[in-house]
Amino acid sequence: MSVRCPIHLPFISAALIAVVCMTTAVSAQIPSTLNSQGVIHNSGTLEIVGDAIIRQDTIGGRVEYTRIGNDSQLVAHLTYWDLHFSGTARKKLIDVTEPIRARNLFSTADTLTILDLVAPSWISAEFTVRHEGIVNPGQRFGRFLLDGVRQQDISGRGSLPIIELINDSGAIVTRGGGLRVVERFDLQRGRLDNTTLDNISMLDQSWIWRDDSGSIATTPVGPRYHVRYYGESPQISGAEIPRGTTELGKLHQDNDSGLTLSSDAWVNDSMRLEGDIYTEATDSLRYKLFYVPAGTDPVFITGDEEVNGTMVRTTLQPGRTHVMNNRRTSMRFANAQLQGPVRRIELRVKPRTVPLPTNIGIDKVQRFFQVELQDAIGVPVPDSSYTLDFGYAWRVDKVDSVTYGPFEETPGPLRNKLDSLALERFVIDKYAADGLSILPTNADPFFRYSIATNVRNSGDFAIGLASYSTVWVLRTKLILEGAMRQYGGDVTPIMSTDLVASNILPLTPPPIYPYNLDPNRTTLTVAAMPDSIVDWIVVEFRTSPTDQAGHIQTGLLTKNGMIVDPTSFLPLPIRGIRPGEYHVAFLHRNHLAVMTDGRELVAPSNANRFVDMSNGANVFGGASAMKVLGLVGGTRLFGMVAGDVDQNGSITRTDQNLIWTDVDTHGIYALYDTDLDGILSTRDWNLSWNNRGRTSVVP
């Protein structure tokens, strides 16, 4: 043992201690033990080469542990004024009953200086830190506290598993910094004043923990580290969130009072919320939370946490449900084809907010969504180039929120209609049902929720009563065999308008089949029939091929095969139908019915769909359910089969007999007029006879 003067020996009667007072260090270092049961009064430098067992609480002056060798040196746990470590022998800090404190200076010499600190204990530095050594190499435990009462000066390029800043006056990084954090830097109280030149280094997979009373001035250096927030007061993010897109690994938000972002944040590994995250400090100061992981979703611990604002998912997997701003809000593409060019989903969710514009959204749930589908670099992709399942949710019951207090988002008039609330999109001047909301909705202790399938548009969305006004516009091409006047190898697909020309087409659909299936038949009255109209026709929407209780509307068939509205003469708007997927059947008074083979999406999101029944490609029962009428540009033209005048779905001798009975009658709107020219003739009989034995495949 070597001791440098000045030193005051303990009072001998209290204990016996062997010390040597010298003005220079002893060159030969012989292991020994300083076992003091009394009090060492030191105002100079005490250099300890061997082990130290010191029973007093504090010691003044400077104490140095300097043993060199491949063995170890036992360090006494007490409060020092200046404490310095050097030498290659591993310094053992193994007392679990109390920590080691340095009131003025804590320092280590270099990277050869290694401290082994047991987990239950810790090192406390109350002022200056000059650390070049290593604490617990290869381990992720070992606490080092910065817990002074004045601003602390820290420097050095040593490594520490855990640093805890517990100093209201904070700490400042000096001399180029470089301190390396292995497990975490815990910002409990006070500010860490660091700069890009005087900084700390977060080793790979280390953490920054930040309480609501702690902060950091500048983003630390590190390839990838994690951030955790905790505390009881609302927090605003700071420099602990890196500005780059790859440095932030995990984000844990464990503060019940919420975290507000002050910058964009890119989460690359995982995210856990036990409190809300707000991405918007004000309506004009908005940031985004980017979530990169492909195979995992954010975890919402209690179930009511949310990202209030904008969340972006950047790595999408077809067929996978991507959880978004809360546990019940999600996006999904069923397959790569339906995903199309979309590579990012940007969703802004604003809870407790009347949907914009407020004069339109007053009868909606007090929550709105803004959706934008983007390519890989964030450029919006065109609507209808994708098909999306949108999981939507809102607060339905009064929930005690730390942030808001008790609240709910369902206005009084909607509270008894929860099962009927659907996803709607704002278009031009109103909200209308978008996609196919699966009703009734579901509920958990925090949210009411459902899924809208077949969403094909970005934009502003809200939740409200399913609006079945104009749900879809039918754009179709449909040909009646009887109205064709031209057959052969190269025909013009134009039908005759003889009934209008003869002024015998009724201005209201007559009370016969199939027009009497339409409960709104008597409300359909045409003031002046356009000269482009062939006849009345019924459109039926079936959820299954055998469902004959579906939605029915009556329209007018034009000479080029379009079905139009009797009032506007524009493509037929389908009103009052619940958005969904339907087989579309076409019924005429003396032609065999036909129906689409596949179900058509009847929803505003499928507004551009064209249903072509003239090519035989999408016909229930196959193309043989229709009649080949000729060729148009080398392509076969199909039409509905004429001749079923008794309307039983089959063309038999009975039909021909009924026609023959009234041959030579003209100038009337007759059921037996199969060629739709206003005259009952052998041509009508021939049409039915040539189709004898034909039967409609529509149930």
Q: What is the DSSP track for 241-293?
A: S-SSSSSEEEEEE--TT-EE-SS-EEE-SEEEESS-EE-BSSSSSB-EEEE--
Question: Residue 31 has what pLDDT?
Answer: 62
Instruction: State the pLDDT confidence band at 489, using cuts at 50, 70 and 90.
Output: confident
CB 667 within 8 Å of CB 504: yes
Mean pLDDT, range 622-634, rounded to an integer: 94
- Lowest mean pLDDT: which of 263-272, 307-316, 411-420? 411-420
By CB atoms closer than 10 A (0-12, 13-18, 19+), residue 244 is exposed
Q: Give the separation between CA 464 and CA 424, rounded to whole angstroms.
A: 7
pTM: 0.74
The one-letter code for the residue type at 603 is: A
Is 367 within 8 Å of 353 (Cβ atoms)?
yes
Q: Residue 353's closest CA among 320, 309, 383? A: 309
Mark 343-363 as b/e (b = at least 16 C-beta within 10 Å): bbbbbbbbbeebbeeeebbee
**What gap in Å lies between CA 616 and CA 614, rounded to an integer?**
6
Strand pairing class (143-146; 159-166): parallel
Judged by average pLDDT, the poorest of 131-135, 413-417, 459-463, 518-522 is 413-417
Taken as a whole, the chain contains a residue count of 699
Question: What average pLDDT does the structure give for the chain?
Answer: 91
Selection from 267, 344, 185, 228 nearest residue 333 by Cα: 344
Residue for token pair 């079936």? 542
Measured between alpha carbons, how far is residue 446 from residues 364, 442, 475 in Å? Answer: 19, 11, 42
DSSP 354: P
Task: Compute the distance between CA of residue 39 and CA of residue 44 in angstroms, rounded to an integer.
Answer: 15
Residue 320, pLDDT > 50, answer yes
Buried-exposed string 510-542: b where 16+ CB fall within 10 A, e elsewhere: eeeebbeebeebeebebeebeebbbbbbbbbbb
From start to end of 560-670, where are the E strands? 563-564, 572-575, 580-587, 594-595, 600-602, 610-612, 627-632, 635-639
Label each residue of 356-395 as H, E or C. Answer: CCCCCHHHCCCEEEEEEEECCCCCECCCCCCCEEEEEEEC
Residue type, 549: A
pLDDT of residue 549: 74
Its CATH class, for the domain covering 316-467, is mainly beta
Q: What pLDDT score does 30 carry? A: 56
Q: Where in the chain is the domain with CATH 2.60.220?
A: 316-467
Q: If you ran DSSP here, which 8-state letter would residue 318 be given?
A: T
Structure tokens at 269: 């590994």
What separation in angstroms does the CA of 667 have from each of 96, 498, 499, 670?
111, 11, 9, 9
Structure confidence at residue 397 (pLDDT) = 66
What is the pLDDT, as a whole number, of residue 405? 52
- The DSSP result for 382-447, as a single string, is PTTS--EEEEEEE--S-EEETTTEEE--S-GGGTT-GGGEEEEEEETTEEEE-SEE-SS-EE-SS-
pLDDT of residue 15: 33
Question: Per residue in 52-91, pLDDT tens?
Answer: 999 999 999 999 999 999 999 999 999 999 999 999 999 9
Whether the pLDDT of residue 307 is over 90: the answer is yes
**Measured distance CA(326)–CA(253) in Å, rounded:** 13
Does the pLDDT at position 309 exceed 80?
yes
Give pLDDT tens digits for 228-278: 999 999 999 999 999 999 999 999 999 999 999 999 999 999 999 999 999
Q: Which residue in this structure is represented by tokens 């700490």? A: 171
Distance CA 651, CA 592 (A): 8
| Nearest one of 269, 236, 271 to 252, comparing CA atoms | 271
Burial classification of residue 608, based on how many CB atoms lie within 10 Å of its CB (0-12 exposed, 13-18 middle, 19 or more buried) = exposed
**Three-state SS string across 162-212, please?**
EEEEECCCCEEECCCEEEEEEEEEEEEEEEEECCCCCEEEECCCEEEEEEE
The token pair at 74 is: 């036992």
Answer yes or no: is pLDDT of 6 > 50.
Answer: no
Q: Is the pLDDT of residue 200 over 50?
A: yes
Question: For position 578, what pLDDT does the model report?
Answer: 81
Q: Is 547 helix (H, G, I), strand (E, B) or coil?
A: coil
Provide the pLDDT for residue 580. 84
List the structure tokens of 308.
């209030």
- The amino acid sitting at 223 is P
